[in-house]
Amino acid sequence: MQPISFAAMQDHITRKERDISKLFSPIKLRDVTVRNRLFVSPMCQYSAEDGCPTNWHLVHLGSRASGGAGLVMTEAAAVSPEGRISPWDAGIWNDDQADAFRPITDFIRSEGATPAIQLAHAGRKASASQPWTGSKLLSEDEGGWQSVGPSDLPFSEDLSIPRPLTTDEIGELVVSWKSAAERSLVAGFDVIELHFAHGYLAHEFLSPISNSRDDEYGGTLENRARFPLEIARAVRDVWPDHLPLFVRISATEYVEGGWDIDDAVTFCGRLKDAGVDLIDASSGGNSPAQTLTPFTGYQVPFAAAIREQAKIATGAVGMITEAQQAEDILESGQADAIFMGRELLRNPYWPLYAAAELGDKVDYWPVQYQRAAVYPHG
């Protein structure tokens, strides 16, 4: 099964001909048809036990599926124990964790949504407490561990100096990502997203501000991209041909001399060649010196640039909170899907309201809630 070509996705059908908004029209990625283009953005809940998702995750992710999202993505799930941001992160480095995800993927699917998992390694930003206790560095006595990274460059004074990975360890980590992908299939996921953004391990390798290696994994863009591309190829190798693979990147890091949108476009072209189907275009997170004041839709131009220049499907994310705003981003061809984070934390039923607002009579109000259903006027 060949992936659907990017060109074939460029429909130029108007709203009138389609009789439904672009936001609520299905999207086909390889053999997976997602019921609409509103995707739940990955969001850490810091509520896992030994890497296993809990009842909290079932209710949290399940509510967003009942709420009408097309695709429901888990939080960053670590591919190895030291790849967690905090001891309370979800993981998928063992079979117990895969088993614990199974009821969650079953429920998401039973609600008509597509279950997706984000695979991650926190690198030098690991071993921290939960945000509500200050995201502080945890000592080994407090349940923390030695972080690793491309080089011995810390993210900030508040986090530890990472231990540089040896080339053998880099090879072992590629296997960890691959095994995590195999377990994701057993756990019932239809989509994998590789977390290569926000200053975590893969991003740390990509960026010249966190990678000062002088071996084949550092220096030129080609060398800095080697480890992330090895991960992408290894995962694609075991992830079935009929299932889509996404990558989240930071399209820029807002630091003079750092990773920028031109690097990102080049890298996304390589990811496409490695069999990646969609780029989830985020930004920042690799330096406390980043200069950014987020504003409505601030990352949309990155999704548009990558889509246009690397010719790969993209997802737009970041302060997208209005139905018409989301629709305009899709209709103008800046992105193929919308990832939504905090607005869906505020209101898991946002997609059902958005459909009504856009004049779409979607048929997936939960039957149990039909007496409360809100449909378009007229």
Ligand X SMILES: Cc1cc2nc3c(=O)[nH]c(=O)nc-3n(C[C@H](O)[C@H](O)[C@H](O)COP(=O)(O)O)c2cc1C
Q: Which residues bind ligand X (CB under 6 A)?
A: 41-44, 75-76, 118, 195, 197-198, 248, 282, 317-320, 340-343
Task: Kindly tell me which of 31 and 254 has the beta carbon lying closer to ligand X.
Answer: 254
Task: Kindly tell me which of 43 and 261 has the beta carbon lying closer to ligand X.
Answer: 43
Helix, strand, or coil here: 313? strand
Task: Kindly tell me which of 6 and 298 has the beta carbon lying closer to ligand X.
Answer: 298
Give CA–CA dist 332/22, Å, rounded. Answer: 10
Tell me which residue of 13, 33, 7 sits closest to 243, measured CA to CA: 33
**Cβ 340 to ligand X, closest distance in Å?**
5
User: Is residue 336 within 8 Å of 315, Cβ to Cβ?
Assistant: yes
Give CA–CA dist 291/298, Å, rounded. Answer: 13
**Cβ 241 to ligand X, closest distance in Å?**
25
Give CA–CA dist 188/237, Å, rounded. Answer: 18
Task: Kindly tell me which of 236 and 248 has the beta carbon lying closer to ligand X.
Answer: 248
Give CA–CA dist 191/67, Å, rounded. Answer: 19
Q: Which two tokens mark 294?
A: 């987020």
**Cβ 345 to ligand X, closest distance in Å?**
7
Helix, strand, or coil here: 321? coil
Task: Kindly tell me which of 164 and 283 has the beta carbon lying closer to ligand X.
Answer: 283
Residue 358 CB: number of other CB atoms within 10 A? 19
Is 254 marked active-site? no
Give CA–CA dist 227/294, Å, rounded. Answer: 30
Give CA–CA dist 211/202, Å, rounded. Answer: 10
Give CA–CA dist 247/232, Å, rounded. Answer: 8
Q: Which residue is nearest to ligand X (CB)?
A: 341
**Cβ 343 to ligand X, closest distance in Å?**
6
Give CA–CA dist 232/216, Å, rounded. Answer: 17
Give CA–CA dist 147/139, Å, rounded. Answer: 11
Task: Kindly tell me which of 132 and 168 has the beta carbon lying closer to ligand X.
Answer: 132
**Cβ 24 to ligand X, closest distance in Å?**
18
Catalytic residue among 46, 200, 217, 349: 200
**Cβ 2 to ligand X, closest distance in Å?**
28
Q: Which are the catalytic amino acids?
A: 200
